[in-house]
Chain A
Amino acid sequence: DAKTTQPPSMDCAEGRAANLPCNHSTISGNEYVYWYRQIHSQGPQYIIHGLKNNETNEMASLIITEDRKSSTLILPHATLRDTAVYYCIVRVADNYGQNFVFGPGTRLSVLP
C-alpha cells in the first residue's frame, strides 16, 4: 500500500505557482520523498526527491517539514504542459529491490 496521501485533484492558473501537498506521517528515517508526474499516456517522469532538506532543481522545489511528515512540491510558474498526475512516493534510496509504490496521485489541471 502507498504510504502517502494526496488530494485527488487540484487546479492552478497558468503562470501561477502550483503547490501540491503530500502527507507521509509514517515515513521512516531512511526513506526519501520522491515526486514523479505522469502526463497522459506517457511513462512517469522524475521530478525531484529529498530526505529532509528542501531541494530545488530546474523543474520544481520540494519543501519537507521539519518532522518530515509532510511535504509540498512547488512548480513556480505552472504552464499548460504541467497538466498531469503527480505522484508523491516514499522509499529507501538504496534498497535495490524495492519498487516504487504508486498511490492515486494528484491530478493537476493548469488552466489558461
Chain B
Amino acid sequence: GAVVSQHPSRVICKSGTSVKIECRSLDFQATTMFWYRQFPKQSLMLMATSNEGSKATYEQGVEKDKFLINHASLTLSTLTVTSAHPEDSSFYICSARHRNSYGYTFGSGTRLTVV
C-alpha cells in the first residue's frame, strides 16, 4: 500500500534555531500534501496545503514566514520551522494525496520539542 515517510520522528532543538521536517511519498506520486499540527490532547489542525511546484496555501493564523513549506517534487515536501520557540513544540503530521486516485496517506508524525 501507499506509504508516506516522515523524518525525523522526534527532534529536540534550542530556541531560536530552525528545524526541517521531511515528508516523502515512497511508492506513489503526490500532487498535494497537507501539513497538520497537533497539540497535546487536541485534534489535528491544518496548517497549510502544498501543491507540487507552486507556493503553499496557509490557513488563517499560520505564519508563512515562520513555517516554510517547499514541495519541489512529486514525492517530497518539507516543512521548516524557523526561529523555533517553545510554543512551537507540537506533533507535526503530513498527508499526501495520491496523484492518480482519491486516496490520502498520513505520515507517522514528527514530535518537535523546543527547549
18 contacts between A and B (CB under 8 A): A42-B109, A43-B106, A43-B109, A44-B106, A46-B106, A93-B102, A94-B102, A96-B32, A97-B32, A99-B34, A99-B46, A99-B95, A100-B95, A100-B104, A101-B46, A102-B44, A104-B42, A104-B43
Q: How far is the CB of B110 from chain A (nearest CB, A)?
A: 10
The main secondary structure of chain A at its interface with chain B is loop
Asked if B58 lies at the interface with its beta carbon under 8 angstroms from chain A, I say no
Asked if B70 lies at the interface with its beta carbon under 8 angstroms from chain A, I say no
Partner of A43 from B31, B46, B93, B102 at Cβ < 8 Å: B93
- Write the residues of chain A forming the contact surface with B, with a CB cutoff of 8 angstroms: 36, 38, 41-46, 87, 93-94, 96-97, 99-105
Q: Is A99 in contact with B109, judged by CB distance below 8 angstroms?
A: no
Besides the known contacts A44-B93, A44-B95, 4 further A-B residue pairs in the complex with CB atoms under 8 A apart? A43-B95, A45-B106, A46-B105, A102-B43
Q: Is A103 in contact with B97, judged by CB distance below 8 angstroms?
A: no
In the assembled complex, which residues on chain B have CB atoms less than 8 Å from the CB atom of A100? 34, 44, 95, 104
Interface size of B by CB at 8 A reads: 26
B107 closest partner in A (C-beta): A43
Q: Is A43 in contact with B49, judged by CB distance below 8 angstroms?
A: no
Given known A41-B91, A43-B6, A96-B32, contact A103–B109 (CB-CB < 8 A): no
A93 closest partner in B (C-beta): B102
Q: How far is the CB of A96 from chain B (nearest CB, A)?
A: 6
In the assembled complex, which residues on chain B have CB atoms less than 8 Å from the CB atom of A94? 102
In the assembled complex, which residues on chain A have CB atoms less than 8 Å from the CB atom of B106? 36, 43-46
Q: How far is the CB of A105 from chain B (nearest CB, A)?
A: 6
In the assembled complex, which residues on chain B have CB atoms less than 8 Å from the CB atom of A102? 36, 43-45
Asked if B18 lies at the interface with its beta carbon under 8 angstroms from chain A, I say no
B47 closest partner in A (C-beta): A99
CB contact list, B32-62 vs A, under 8 A: 32, 34, 36, 42-46, 49, 51
In the assembled complex, which residues on chain A have CB atoms less than 8 Å from the CB atom of B103? 46
Expressed in whole angstroms, the Cα–Cα distance for A96 and B104 within the complex equals 10
Q: Is A43 in contact with B108, judged by CB distance below 8 angstroms?
A: yes
